[in-house]
Amino acid sequence: MEKKKWYYSTWFIILMLIIIPPVGIILMWAGAKFPKPVRIGITLICLWMVASHWDSVWFANYFNIDK
């Protein structure tokens, strides 16, 4: 039986999803430890967070708003 790599452990994937979401998403999909609906949901949430942050930064820069 092949031993699972440490970076595919649940605690590490969750940590990476919090600290470095792109790395966490890649590990989550590559490890296939989570059910597919959960992987899709977490990926969409992370994409939404990035898009909403990017949009607010663009808006603030376009209208010269200091945050």
Tell me what pLDDT residue 49 has: 83
Q: Flag whether 20 is in a domain.
A: yes
Q: What percent of the chain has pLDDT over 70?
A: 79
Dist CA 40 CA 34 (whole Å): 10
Say how many C-beta atoms besides its own lie within 10 A of residue 29's C-beta.
16
Dist CA 5 CA 64 (whole Å): 47
pLDDT at position 65 over 90: no
Let me know: does 8 contact 33? Beta carbons within 8 Å: yes
pLDDT per residue as tens digits for the range 8-51: 899 999 999 999 988 999 999 998 789 999 999 999 998 888 77
Range of the domain at 23: 6-62
Tell me what pLDDT residue 58 has: 66
Q: Flag whether 67 is in a domain.
A: no
Q: Flag whether 1 is in a domain.
A: no
Tell me the CA end-to-end span of the chain in Å, nearest whole number: 54
Q: Flag whether 49 is in a domain.
A: yes
Name the domain count of the chain.
1
